[in-house]
Structure 1
Amino acid sequence: MEGTPRPQGSKRPVGRGRSIEASKYLPGWRKAVTAAARAAHDGPPLDGPVTVTAVFVFPRAKALKDKPAPPHTSAPDADKTARAVGDALTAAEVFHDDAQINTWHIHKRRAEPGETPGAHITIERTI
Structure 2
Amino acid sequence: MQYDDYKSKYKDATKQHNIMVLVGNGFDINVLSKYRNDSIDTRYAKFYDFVKYIGYDKDNILIRKMDEAKKNGKKNWSDFEALIPEVVKDEKDCKLMNTSLVELQEKFSLFLNNVVTP
- Please indicate the TM-score interval, normalised by the length of the shorter structure: under 0.3
Query: Normalized per residue, which structure has more helix?
Result: 2
Query: Normalized per residue, which structure has more strand?
Result: 1
Comparing both chains, which one has the higher relative contact order based on Cα–Cα distances under 8 Å and sequence gaps of 6 or more?
1
Q: TM-score, normalised by structure 1?
A: 0.24
